[in-house]
Amino acid sequence: MSTNTKTEIVKVGLVQMACGQNPDDNLREAVQGIRRAAEKGAQIVCLQELYRSQYFCQVEDADRFRLAEPIPGPSTKALGPLAKELSIVLIVPLFEKRSAGLYHNSAIVFDTDGSVAGHYRKMHIPDDPGFYEKFYFAPGDNGFQAIDTRYGKIGVLICWDQWFPEGARLTALSGAQFLFYPTAIGFQDFDAEVAPKQANAWETIQKSHSIANGVFTVAVNRVGREHNIQFWGRSFVCDPLGEVLAQASDECPEVLVVDCDLALIEETRQGWPFLRDRRVDAYQNLTRLYLDSNGR
């Protein structure tokens, strides 16, 4: 590794919440968490996936569409001015009502002046027991992007996106220094035997994105029990070598603020030049859904 000692510290804040039934109460709790992070010096603050409600996708229920909000709406009207007041970059994941009958699992990024720096819509939409998101959300159409902000270039992906190396790679190739993963993931009642393995896999796959791309990864999960899911929290930040710099509780709401030295990105990529050694001439089949034994 290089002996470069230059530092460029960015303080990243994670707001891990336990959500209740009332969206307005959850918004107030989020505001308190954001303020606590800013008081600790955070320059970029991220909320968890669908922060304004409990995780409603455990069931298919058309009444839950009432939780969706337009942009601008309650979240953007409250939190854009807050980002400006605190002079922070703020990542706000929300249930977006794009138009009548068209909804997305989205995230808005506010820059330090309160303006919208970026808008991401979740690309990979799961449909599994207890995670019936295809009932509610259309797939994103904004692509994988690096959003330029006062405190660096950030990529936002959401929960299920975290399992796909292609999304992380494309976001990093766009120039992102951070991969933020707002998340809602936990243990279901029927999978208690494999629960520890699932949590370890969740952490490992995201650490691998940092290693493969030479970036910081930030995962912000919710905590507490909601219906049939015990959300496992464990929000964390890891550096470009995949080392976990800090991790939150698996039981309690928590606000973390973590120092991230951007100089580590170049230092790590010099030592491990994975981007240099990619064989882009040989990856055409990545656009195929599957290859059979004959390569077709």
| Residues catalogued as catalytic | 49, 122, 159
List the structure tokens of 60.
Answer: 């298919």
* Cα of 80 vs its chain's centroid, Å: 18
Cα(73)–Cα(71) distance, integer angstroms: 5
Nearest to 118 by CA among 141, 91, 86: 91
* β 127-128/223-226 pair status: unpaired
Query: Alpha-carbon distance 146 to 111, whole Å?
Result: 13
Q: How buried is 273 (Cβ within 10 angstroms: 0-12 exposed, 13-18 middle, 19+ buried)?
A: exposed
User: What are the residues facing 92 on neighbouring strands?
Assistant: 108
Q: Are strands 116-121 and 102-110 parallel, antiparallel or unpaired?
A: antiparallel
Taking the chain, what is the end-to-end CA distance rounded to the nearest angstrom? 41
Alpha helices in 147-235 (DSSP H): 165-173, 195-213
